[in-house]
């Protein structure tokens, strides 16, 4: 069944989009990530213009992170204060990102920049995760007890000024890295259409030493607002949010997420991480091939005068 997308201005198949949403939802439920980093490239592979894929991806991320954050709020595993400071940084980063987005679009380098960022980030995160999880798998197989990271240890980040106390996270840390991290995630959110959970979660755990149980809830909380802000700004400055497209993805996504969460409970942590790493790397490689392979046609058209 075809449907005409009013903003993307093309006809697409409803079931392909629902299935895409469900598949990504399944994976995001399984791995506890927003899935934006999968949705945006998938939409681009499906010939949705990158500018619309990014803005609509951000819109779709709100739905999955909102439903996730609700569960964490009920369980009390959400640090509002930490989330708020991250958010303040996020708004600044997101605003900067929107300007860069519009500028690159005018220069005709937006698609390239999006692809490069994806390849670099997904490649790095996927590679690191794969190494870490394979080591963990090997360690459990050889029977050795897993080496726990000492969370009490302090690094250079904890020596920065302007310290602030975050009670729910049992943390006393400078606001500079928190704001900086928020800004970086906001920037990525507006340029890549991702929530940024796949960077936020490891950064909070390893850099800021936030207890693991509050990390996911807090990260989801801040992602709701960053992607909501990103969606709003894309809608007003670029008019690239397609609600029909976003709704189809969300509808498939929320359903898929529940089954994914169930499937995820049957796998062990390091197995899950290894699988997620492989998935992330696969997306990165697929995008890299497009960058390096000779395009079937070197010419492309776009409407002039877009800001």
Partner 1 sequence: MAGLRAFAATISLSLFLALSPATAQTPPPAEGIQIGLSTDAISITAGFSGADLTIFGSLENPDPLVSRQGRYDVVVVLEGPPRPVVVRRKDRVLGVWINLQSETFENVPVSYSVATTRPLQDIADPTKYKQLSLGAQNLYMKPADETDSPTTIEEFTAALRERKTATGLYSENVGGVQFLSQSLFRATVRLAPNIPVGTHKARAFLFKSGMFVKESSAQLEIRKSGFEQSIFRVAHDYSFLYGVFAVSLAMLTGWLGRIVFRKD
**Phi–psi pair at 2, nearest 5 degrees:** -90, 155
CB of 198 to partner 1, least distance (A): 19
CB of 82 to partner 1, least distance (A): 21
Task: Please report, as ranges, the residues that interact with partner 1 according to CB under 8 A.
Answer: 1-4, 6-7, 9-11, 59-60, 62-67, 70-71, 74-75, 108-109, 111-112, 116, 224, 228, 231-236, 239, 241, 243-244, 246-247, 250-251, 253-255, 257-258, 261-262, 291-295, 297-305
Nearer to partner 1, 112 or 128 (CB): 112
- Asked whether 53 and 17 are in contact (CB, 8 A), the reply is no
CB of 87 to partner 1, least distance (A): 15
Task: Give the separation between CA 243 and CA 185, rounded to whole angstroms.
Answer: 23
Q: Give the CA count within 13 Å in the CB-facing half-sphere of 228.
A: 12
CB of 206 to partner 1, least distance (A): 28
- Using N-to-C axis directions, what is the helix angle for 175-192 and 80-107, rounded to 10°? 40
Nearer to partner 1, 11 or 142 (CB): 11
Nearer to partner 1, 98 or 136 (CB): 98
Task: Give the separation between CA 215 and CA 213, rounded to whole angstroms.
Answer: 6
Nearer to partner 1, 139 or 243 (CB): 243
Nearer to partner 1, 232 or 267 (CB): 232
- Asked whether 83 and 73 are in contact (CB, 8 A), the reply is no
Helix (H, G, I), strand (E, B) or coil at 163: strand
Q: Which of 195, 180, 276 is nearest to 230 (CA)?
A: 195
Query: Which secondary structure element, helix H or strand E, spans residue 171, and what is its range?
Result: strand 171-174
What would the two tokens of residue 177 be? 């890295």
CB of 232 to partner 1, least distance (A): 4
CB of 224 to partner 1, least distance (A): 8
Nearer to partner 1, 64 or 218 (CB): 64
Task: Give the separation between CA 259 and CA 255, rounded to whole angstroms.
Answer: 7
What would the two tokens of residue 271 be? 């197995």
CB of 298 to partner 1, least distance (A): 4
Q: Which of 132, 61, 60 is nearest to 278 (CA)?
A: 132
Query: Which secondary structure element, helix H or strand E, spans residue 105, and what is its range?
Result: helix 80-107
Nearer to partner 1, 166 or 229 (CB): 229
């Amino acid at each position: 069944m075809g449907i005409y997308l009013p903003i993307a201005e093309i006809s697409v198949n409803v079931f392909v989009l629902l299935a895409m949403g469900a598949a990504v939802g399944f994976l995001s439920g399984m791995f506890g990530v927003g899935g934006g980093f999968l949705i945006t490239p998938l939409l681009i592979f499906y010939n949705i213009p990158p500018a619309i894929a990014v803005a609509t991806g951000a819109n779709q991320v709100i739905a999955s992170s909102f439903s996730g954050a609700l569960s964490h709020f009920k369980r009390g595993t959400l640090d509002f204060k930490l989330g708020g400071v991250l958010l303040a940084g996020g708004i600044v980063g997101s605003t900067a990102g929107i300007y860069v987005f519009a500028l690159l679009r005018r220069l005709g380098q937006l698609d390239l920049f999006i692809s490069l960022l994806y390849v670099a980030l997904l490649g790095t995160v996927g590679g690191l995760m794969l190494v870490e999880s394979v080591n963990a798998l090997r360690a459990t197989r050889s029977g050795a007890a897993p080496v726990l990271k000492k969370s009490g240890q302090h690094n250079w980040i904890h020596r920065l000024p302007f310290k602030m106390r975050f009670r729910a996270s049992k943390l006393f840390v400078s606001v500079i890295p928190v704001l900086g991290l928020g800004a970086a995630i906001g920037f990525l959110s507006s340029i890549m259409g991702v929530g940024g959970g796949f960077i936020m979660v490891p950064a909070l755990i390893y850099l800021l030493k936030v207890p693991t149980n509050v990390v996911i809830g807090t990260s989801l909380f801040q992602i709701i607002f960053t992607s909501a802000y990103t969606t709003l700004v894309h809608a007003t400055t670029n008019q690239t949010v397609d609600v029909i497209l976003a709704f189809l993805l969300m509808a498939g996504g929320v359903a898929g997420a529940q089954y994914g969460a169930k499937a995820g409970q049957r796998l062990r942590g390091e197995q899950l991480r290894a699988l997620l790493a492989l998935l992330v790397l696969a997306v990165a490689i697929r995008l890299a091939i497009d960058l390096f392979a000779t395009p079937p046609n070197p010419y492309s058209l776009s409407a002039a005068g877009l800001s």
